[in-house]
A and B are shown apart, each in its own frame.
Chain A
Amino acid sequence: MNVLSCSINTLIKEGLYEISGVEVGQHFYWQIGGFQVHAQVLITSWVVIAILLGSAVLAIRNPQTIPTDGQNFFEFVLEFIRDVSKTQIGEEYGPWVPFIGTLFLFIFVSNWSGALLPWKIIQLPQGELAAPTNDINTTVALALLTSVAYFYAGLSKKGLGYFSKYIQPTPILLPINILEDFTKPLSLSFRLFGNILADELVVVVLVSLVPLVVPIPVMFLGLFTSGIQALIFATLAAAYIGESMEGHH
């Protein structure tokens, strides 16, 4: 116990904390017309968007019948997205491919950018650059878009008859069915936010304690979790859309 306290004491005195500072919930603010924005989220999201659009344009500017490397990869990704959409939404998945695909790609590239891109090279006056998905604004924005999307899907498919699903098995379940519309975006956004933030925190804390080797497995676990979270978000969004589109028997 004395050894532990001593080591922590020296660690903190030598300023290791300041080298690998755990900065949670600190933001680099910009003022836009009297409103505050989290600049670090916007900057990283622009980078993510640039990566996505740039690589897509580069790989698919001249599609070949027999695909080469980049095109092959993008075709694989598109097939994957179509597969996810089709299994969740059904035969009418076509119009929803852009939404589901962009959800998946944006979240996936965001998460991995947080783990793989050396954001720390760029110093901000306050806060730090990290995955856009470790900010609650981003995840709530995506979750709300998902809510809007499945309401739109249901209403455009069935008109006002869509609301009959609230009393569907029995009117007693009406409160629970209404509650579901709030828990869906809540769980979507908090799941993503919590996973990514926790992942980055665990890596940072481990790096600050043991700078070598030990954090590497956790980093790989983080990459895995990031991918899974992106897939879960996209799959659940597709499932919600499919659920609101399917007919009641």
Chain B
Amino acid sequence: MAANSIMASSKPLISLSSNQQPNRVQIPKFAKLPQIPKSLTSSTDLRSKALSLSSATAKSLALIAAFAPPSMAEAMEKAQLFDFNLTLPIIVVEFLFLMFALDKVYYSPLGNFMDQRDASIKEKLASVKDTSTEVKELDEQAAAVMRAARAEIAAALNKMKKETQVEVEEKLAEGRKKVEEELKEALASLESQKEETIKALDSQIAALSEDIVKKVLPS
């Protein structure tokens, strides 16, 4: 297309220089690039005509056209930009083949793989969220266990306290009893000693009174 437009801009110049050039205007499908004149017989004439034009680009284009080698002109004659042929259906078939082949080796396997990976990651994330509740449960369990343990310890402490108290009281009572017994014994022994001394005193009283009587009463 670009080539067409490039050549189209030089069309008036060509028709100006050589009148034998037919101006081919056809449907784009079979459009051929316009033939460039092979004969450069009137090159000086052409140059003067070209110089008479004001635009610099037009001049250069005319020069290119004037000095283009004949091989270019021959090649241009065959050039076909809009040349439809069997290439089109072959490209269609190649494209369909490429589509199915790429689907087999690329889109499907890699797509499935990526989807599976996404699913597994999502699953793992979800399971992580689940374990957070599990962790809470475990936490509560641990707290319960701690509470139970504390209660147990407290109970054991109380029990021990009670036991030791009872023991202490028992021992106290025992000690008291012992002391009382000893006291009783001591008291009893004191009493008996008192009685003994009184008895002894009683027996001595007669002798003493006899002595007193003997001493007081003159004999």
A residues bordering B, Cβ < 8 Å? 1, 4-5, 8-9, 12-13, 17-18, 21-27, 32, 35-38, 41-42, 45-46, 49, 52-53, 56-57, 60, 63, 65, 71, 74-75, 78-79, 81-82, 97-99, 101-102, 105-106, 132, 135-138, 140-142, 144-145, 190, 193-194, 197-198, 201-202
Is B92 touching A23 in the complex (CB atoms < 8 A)? no
Q: Mark B48-72, 1 if CB is under 8 A from A, else 0.
A: 0000000010011001100111011
**Cβ–Cβ contact B102 & A101, under 8 A:** yes
- Chain B residues whose C-beta falls within 8 Å of the C-beta of A75 in the assembled complex: 110, 114
A27 nearest CB neighbor, chain B only: B83
Interface residues on B, range: 35 or more
When chains A and B are docked, how far (Å) is the Cα of A72 from the Cα of B177? 96
Contact: A45 with B72, CB < 8 Å? no
Write the nearest CB–CB distance from A10 to chain B, whole angstroms: 10
Stretch from B15-23, B73-81, B125-133, B199-207 at the A interface: B73-81
Interface pair B110/A137, CB less than 8 Å apart: no
Name which residue of chain B comes closest to A99, CB basis. B99
How far is it, in angstroms, between the C-alpha of A198 and the C-alpha of B3 when the chains are bound?
A: 8
List, in ascending order, chain A residues with CB within 8 A of B67's CB: 8-9, 12-13
Q: Are B84 and A136 in contact (CB under 8 A)?
A: yes
For A194, list chain B residues within 8 Å (CB): 1-2
* Dominant SS among interface residues on chain A: helix
Q: Which residue from chain A places its CB closest to the CB of B81 in the assembled complex? A: A25
- With a cutoff of 8 Å between Cβ atoms, the chain A residues found around residue B75 in the complex are 23, 26
Nearest 3 Cβ contacts at the A-B interface:
A25-B79, A24-B3, A35-B86
In the complex, B212 has a CB within 8 A of chain A: no
Contact B95 A145 (CB under 8 A): yes
Quick check: is B25 within 8 A (CB to CB) of the other chain?
A: no
Q: Mark B109-124, 1 if CB is under 8 A from A, else 0.
A: 1110110010000000
**B106 with A78: CB separation less than 8 A:** yes
Task: Show 25 A/B contacts (Cβ-Cβ < 8 Å), sorted by A.
Answer: A1-B56, A4-B56, A5-B59, A5-B60, A36-B85, A37-B85, A38-B85, A49-B94, A52-B98, A60-B109, A65-B117, A78-B111, A98-B103, A101-B107, A136-B81, A137-B85, A137-B88, A141-B89, A141-B92, A142-B95, A144-B88, A145-B92, A194-B1, A197-B2, A198-B1
A45 to B91 CA separation, bound complex (whole angstroms): 8
With both beta carbons as reference points, the residue of chain B lying nearest to A34 in the complex is identified as: B86
A35 to B113, CA, bound (A): 44
Per the bound structure, the CA–CA distance linking A52 and B111 in Å amounts to 17
Q: Chain B residue with minimal CB distance to A190?
A: B1
Contact: A24 with B33, CB < 8 Å? yes
A182 CB to nearest B CB, Å: 14
On whether the beta carbons of A63 and B3 are closer than 8 Å, the reply is no
Shortest distance between the CB of B61 and any CB in chain A (Å): 10
Question: Chain A contacts of B63 at CB under 8 A?
Answer: 5, 8-9
Within B156-211, which residues are at the interface with A (CB < 8 Å)? none
Q: Which residue of B lies closest to A97 (CB)?
A: B107
A25 contact set on B, CB distance < 8 A: 3, 33, 79-81, 83
Alpha-carbon distance between A141 and B10 when the two chains are bound, in angstroms: 32
